[in-house]
Amino acid sequence: MRVNTNEATSRGMKISDFQTKDVINITDGKRLGQISDLELDLKQGRIEAIVVPGYSRFMGLFGGGTDLIIPWRNIVKIGSDVILVKMDEVKEQAYDEREREARLYDEQQQGRTERTERLERLDRSQRRTI
């Protein structure tokens, strides 16, 4: 499916321009939300997908941590106010935000433990030399 981006390419487009547009699924007419992020292919220099926060999130900050990943090939048209996409079946990519935060916390704690152990070893070695 070809993307009609004549308007977008003729004047260029910023990421902030994407974030102000509503994303509409033409299959069922539902508003999916506004773009929160883009997935980029840095080697090829192109956009791979757009990311729309799931329904359970408020302003992209609170909630279940689900995002809707829409591949670039599913974009039908980019208009002045909306982005029309064709999604036969809307699938949310779910990840457990609490699990990610717990892993991050564990890594931080492990780093603190390692630093504390290093300081204790250094302190013991300094006492032996005195």
**pTM over cut 0.85:** no
Domain 15-85 CATH assignment equals 2.30.30.240: yes
- Confidence (pLDDT) at 58: 47
Q: How many residues does the chain have?
A: 130
- Confidence (pLDDT) at 12: 73
What DSSP character marks residue 110? Answer: H
Helices (H) and strands (E) in the chain, counts: 3, 8
> Mind listing the pLDDT tens digit for each residue in 67-85?
888 999 999 999 989 999 9
Beta-carbon contacts of 44 under 8 Å, excluding residues fewer than 6 positions away, are: none
Q: Which residues of the chain have pLDDT under 70?
A: 1-11, 55-65, 89-101, 129-130
